[in-house]
Each structure stands twice: as structure tokens, then as C-alpha cells.
Structure 1
Amino acid sequence: MLPWMIGFAVFMAFPIGWSLYLTFQKVGLTGTGFKYKYIGLQNFKDALLKDNEFTIQLLVFLQQMIFMIPIIIIFSLCVSILLNQRFPGRFLFRAIFFLPVIFSTGQVLTELFQQGAGDVPFIAQYGIDTYVSDHFSASMAEPILNILGMMILILWSSGVQILIFIAGFQTISNSIYEAVRIDGASPWTSFWKITLPGIKPFIGLNLLYTMVDLFTFPFNPIMEQIKKNMFSITTGYGYASAIAWLYFLLIMILIGLIMLFLNSSNKAGRA
């Protein structure tokens, strides 16, 4: 861990500490430079109580994540089950599903979306958006349509999870499957009784990875909100830092819940 600790101390420790310091300041830009005024927890109070735009965007984003994370996990699990079978060209298909992870990162992903590569035209073409709007309430229809519009993103975001699930399948001994087949168990029974309990820790690991990946996505509206307030005259760096720290604390709470899930899975596995 020493190289990571050195890199963190040199490149990240000071910016993180400085951003925490700014959360308690009212930062103004003058002709001679930045001007700092201590205001305590006022930035946090404004973000939680006065800034309706930030609160609404945060709630909408969390609602989308509640839908997207299970979809990505289930999609990755289904694809990994198929790719774990023995068939000609298996390595090629595994590489195809992992290629988007390599190419759709950072500026490449931004450029692809700006060119319309992330759109799903058949949603409007076949009237799926109208069907969803007619059969669901407005509060449910909007996130569902947003998720359908991000199906390409879901496909691109599943490469690492697929590999993790495939690695999880390798930890289950083939002799166990041979034993249950001799006892007359069907493949469906084997999946629910052996495969799913065996990869439960890997499900938790994929939950953790997927959540962190989506919460740091380049088109994340909360990160756009942070950038917007950072360069605003009325709010500035202090308020933007407060929003960033609130967002960070929310992520840490969700990570803590997933870690509890992982610990319970490990204890159940040992038992």
C-alpha cells in the first residue's frame, strides 16, 4: 500500500483537506484574489434547506440509481452465466463485452454521447414512451423512460461486473454440480441452491463497484451541479465544496450498507 499512500499524500490529501476547509467559508473573488469569510455550517444549511434545485436533482438521481443498479447487476449475471458455458469462440465473446469498458471512458465517452451514440431511437419509434406514460404515474414514468434511454450506457457499464461474476463461478467446484445432477436436481434448482449462494459475495462486490462507477459518471447531474455552483458569483467555491461533501457522505453511507452486506455474506459462507 506504500505507493498508493505516497500518491495520496502528494496529490490528494491537500486538495481534500482544502475543500473541507472551504465548506465553512464564504469564498468571494476580488481584484486581488480570493476573499474568505468564516460562516460555519451555513453552506450545508443552504444546500439542505434552501437549494431546491440541488435537493430535487439529488432525489431524482438516487431514484434513477435505485432502478439502474439492479438492472446492471441482473444483466451482468445473465450474460456471465451464458459466457461461462463451453462453446466455440467463448474468449472472443468475453472480449466483446469487455471492450466498451476500455473505449467508453472519460473524454471518449463524452464524445460518443455528443455524437448521439448513446441514444436508443426505437423507444420513440415504436411508441414505448407513450405506453409507459399511459400506464404509469408521472413520478414513475420519468425514471423508467430515463433508464430505457440509458440502455446503451447499461450495456457499456456491465463489462467489469461480467468478469467478476465469471471469476465467481470458478470458485464453485464442479464436483458439487456433479453431485446434485446425480441426485436428480435440475439446472434451475442448481442455480438457486448452489450458484446463487456461492456467488453472493461477488454480488456484493459488483454492487459496490457499480454504485461507485455510476456515482462518478461523467454525466452525473450532481457533479454538474457542483461545477455550476463553483463558478457562480452568488455561491462560489465554499458552497460547491459543501455540496460535494454532502454527496461524498451519502456515497460513504451507501458503501457502508454494502460492506455490511458483504460481511454478512462472508459470515454466512463460513457458517
Structure 2
Amino acid sequence: MSKQERTERNERRRGYWSYRWKDYSTGYLFMLPWAIGFAVFVAFPVGWSFFNSFNSVRLTGAGFTYTWVGLDNFRRVLMEDNVYPIKLVTYFQEMLLIIPLILIFSFFVSLLLNQKMPGRAFIRAIFFLPVIFATGQVLMELFGQGAGKLPFIEQYNLEGLLRQYMGPRLAEPMLNVLSRAVIILWYSGVQILIFIAGYQTIPRSVYEAIRIDGATPWESFWKITLPAMVPFIGLNAVFTIVDLFTFPFNPVLEQVRVNMFHPQFGYGYASAQAWIYFALILVLLGIALGLTYRSVVKRGAVVR
């Protein structure tokens, strides 16, 4: 390549970046505070945690001491720990039951709240109020007082029946879900609003056209409403997964916090536990996004 060609290429490159900067500079400036906060408060702690997971970290009088152990922390978590894997599997079983229940409940409640009725705005506000008031500390206090339990579990001896006919392995996560059934109501406010916003994207003319063709409301739901709501179902699935896996009663995170300050384990071992937990959540998010994307593409809503 000649000198003139290199000069022309560099000028085109500078012109391209100048054009990009003029078009997007305002957006970049608005993103700058977030980028700084992310780098300082998220990226650095996450990177430090990842580094710790490959080390044996001890807190001494002289500060932190690091001893490189490679994958030994991960091996110990998966092969030697008798508590963490059980809590991890049990909690994932519970969440795989609660997440579909929240999505189904919020979907059908939002479908009702999307209808024209007196006091519709007031009823929507009632369903959203738990999102405002049910913070982590409030939830802990309410559940500590037994507000999250359903009385019919003890009234009809449901625990004994489940253990008798389903076995302890399946009964335990189901009982834990039932004991936290109020979560389905309290953790559905945002999802209901997202679904209601999704209904507004469906043109009314489509419903009018299918009604003229003689379709019943049941057929219009399966042919129009549900396919159009698939992207919003995926969005709510991702939101619910992230929300519930940072739940204040999360026994997995509690185990990580306990081991972090345990003299036998320390920061390195606890970091390995946290990264295993994080990796499983990423897999679950990837499955939810993949299924949503495939459903949308199959219906021709995405142009590739």
C-alpha cells in the first residue's frame, strides 16, 4: 500500500469517527456518569471477585494475603462441600416453580386489567403498590411475622399429604413455594405493567378484522394476543429471573456471605461459590432469551 493510499484511508477513518462523534456525542455524554459508576462500583468488584476465586485469600494483620490455587476452590465447592450444592439445587427447584407461576399470574391479571372497567386505574395501582413498599427489609419483617404463609397448608395437613404421595425430594421445594405464595402477588407488579404496555402495541384494527371474519374471543387470544405478547413474556421472564435470584431470603447468597468470613474458607472460596451461582443464572437467562428469540423468529416478527 502506497503512502497516499494510507493517508486517504486514515482520513476516511478520521472522517468516520468524526461523523460518529457528532451524531452520538450527546448520548455518550449522558452515558458517561453511568459508565463511570459501572466501572467503579460494578466492574472492579466483579473483576476482583473473579480474581479471588482462583486464590486462597486470608485476612491477616498485614492485610489480605493471596495464594494462587487455580481451580481448587471450584473443585472443593462441587466435590467436597456438603451444604452449598444442596442449597443451590433446592433453591433452583423452587425458583423454577415460582417463575412460571408469576408469569402466568401476571399475564392473566394484566389481561383483565387491560379491559375497560370502572376504577381500572385504581386497581392497577393496587397491584403495583407491593413493588413500592415490599423492599428487602420489609419483606424480611413480614415473613418473620408469618405474613407470607397460607393458612390452608396447616389446616388441611397439606404438608403431610405432599410428603406421603410425592416423596420428600419433590415435596420440599413445593412446600417452600407454597409457604411463600404471597411472593407471587408481591413480585408481579412490574410484570403486570409490562404486559399491559405490550397489549397497547397490538393494533385494535387487527381485532376488528378478525372479529368481522367471525373469530371468537378465544380464537383471537390464541391467534393474535398470545403471539404478539411473546417478546414481552421473554422480557418478563428475564426480569423475574434476575429479581428472584437476588431475593432477600436467598439461602445461596446467605451461604456465600457466611463462608466469606469463615476462617476455614475465606473470600476465595466464597467467590468461587458466587461465580458458580452466577454462571447457572446466566445459563437460565440464556435459555429464556433463546426460547423467546426462536419463538419470535418462528412467527416472522424478526427480520434476519
Same fold, TM-score > 0.5, yes or no = yes
What displacement does 1:19 show?
A: 1.0
Letter in 2 for 1:138: P
- Which of the two has higher C-alpha Rg? 2
* More off after superposition, 173-182 vs 123-132: 123-132
- Distance of 2:41 and 2:163 partners within structure 1: 48
What displacement does 1:151 show?
A: 0.8
Letter in 2 for 1:21: F
Match of 2:266 in 1: 236
What displacement does 1:146 show?
A: 1.3
Match of 2:145 in 1: 115
8 A Cα contact 2:149 2:178, kept in partner: no
Match of 2:256 in 1: 226
Structure 2 residue 61 is the aligned partner of structure 1 residue 31: yes
8 A Cα contact 2:195 2:229, kept in partner: yes
Aligned pairs for 1:167-186 (under 5 A) are 167-186=197-216
What displacement does 1:116 show?
A: 2.2
Deviations 1:75-128 (A, max 9, x none): 111111111111100001000000001111122222222222222222112322
SS of equivalent to 1:77: helix
Letter in 2 for 1:258: A
Match of 1:42 in 2: 72
What displacement does 1:209 show?
A: 0.4
What displacement does 1:10 show?
A: 2.2
- Distance of 2:82 and 2:187 partners within structure 1: 30
* More off after superposition, 30-39 vs 197-206: 30-39
What displacement does 1:35 show?
A: 2.3
- Unaligned 5+ runs, structure 1: none
1:22 to 38, 52, 76: 52
Letter in 2 for 1:209: F
Question: How does the TM-score come out when normalised to structure 2?
Answer: 0.85
Letter in 2 for 1:67: L
- Distance of 2:32 and 2:218 partners within structure 1: 46
* More off after superposition, 62-71 vs 136-145: 136-145
Deviations 1:24-57 (A, max 9, x none): 1112233333322111111011111111211111
- Distance of 1:141 and 1:13 partners within structure 2: 40
- Distance of 1:4 and 1:136 partners within structure 2: 49
What displacement does 1:221 show?
A: 1.0
Match of 2:37 in 1: 7
Match of 1:56 in 2: 86
1:84 to 111, 114, 127: 114
Letter in 2 for 1:128: L
What CA RMSD, in Å, does the superposition of the two structures yield over aligned residues? 1.5
Letter in 2 for 1:231: F
Aligned pairs for 1:119-198 (under 5 A) are 119-198=149-228
Letter in 2 for 1:204: G
- Distance of 1:235 and 1:223 partners within structure 2: 15
User: Between Structure 1 and Structure 2, how many residues are aligned?
Assistant: 271
Which structure 1 residue ranges, 4+ long, deviate > 4 Å from structure 2?
A: none
Letter in 1 for 2:100: P
Question: How does the TM-score come out when normalised to structure 1?
Answer: 0.95
Letter in 2 for 1:217: F
- Unaligned 5+ runs, structure 2: 1-30
Percent identical residues: 58
SS of equivalent to 1:3: helix
Match of 1:211 in 2: 241
SS of equivalent to 1:219: coil
1:250 to 260, 277, 280: 280
What displacement does 1:5 show?
A: 1.1
What displacement does 1:145 show?
A: 1.4
